Amino acid sequence: MIKSILVVCIGNICRSPMAAALFAKQLPGLNCRSAGIGALIGQPAAPYSIELMKQCDIDISDHRAQQLQSWLCDSSDLILVMDIEQKQHIEKQYPTTRGKLFRLGQFSQFDVFDPYKRPRDEFESCLRLIEQGVADWVRRIDSVN
């Protein structure tokens, strides 16, 4: 049974906060968190991420970036990353994540590109991929829970 999800990207200000917020909205009984491999610790979510989530009736304005740590990995039932390189990095740094670490785009075979410092339309494209990945995982989680 999956009770906690950790979503990871690089800086923890663009992609993972949006994905974690979407999971939290769609799976309200689960603990949904996010972190970054190279987090911009303490920084708020990117302005476009905040704006786009607001359009989804989700407020992430209180989000602050946090660094990925072993306790976050250990306390999560499912860890989702944005691309294969992040998956490989985390598996190497935290070997206990094997078996519960996957790409967000696992089922539709895609990586979620980083829109950091890019125009709004890039964030919108990124969000569409995140929404697809979240929808795929929500179906899978619902089937096992």
Q: Over pLDDT 90: what percentage of the chain?
A: 99
Bridge partners (DSSP) of residue 106 are: none
Cα(66)–Cα(95) distance, integer angstroms: 20
Q: Is 14 known to be catalytic?
A: no
Q: What's residue 84's pLDDT? A: 97
> Average pLDDT over the chain, rounded to whole?
98
pLDDT band at 141; cut points 50, 70, 90: very high
CA distance 126 to 68: 22
SS3 33: strand
Mean predicted confidence (pLDDT) in 98-122: 98
Its pTM surpasses 0.95: yes
pLDDT more than 70, % of the chain? 100
Mean pLDDT value across residues 42-56: 98
The domains of the chain, with CATH numbers, are: 4-144 (3.40.50.2300)
Q: How many CB atoms lie within 10 A of CB 62?
A: 8
- The single residue of 14, 15, 73, 103 carrying the catalytic annotation is 15
Q: How many CA atoms lie within 13 A of 53 on its CB side?
A: 26
Give the pLDDT of residue 103: 99
Instruction: Give the residue carrying structure tokens 């690089």.
Output: 10
55 in Cβ contact with 122 (< 8 Å): no
Q: Which of 114, 118, 136, 140 is catalytic?
A: 114
Structural tokens at position 16? 């993972």
What is the amino acid identity at position 17? Answer: P
* pLDDT bracket for residue 110 (50, 70, 90): very high
- Could you confirm whether 121 is annotated as catalytic? no
Marked catalytic residue, from 9, 14, 32, 126: 9
- Give pLDDT, residue 8: 99
Of all residues in the chain, what percent are helix, strand and coil, respectively (each to 5)? Answer: 45, 15, 40
- Please write the tens of the pLDDT for every residue from 70-80: 999 999 999 99
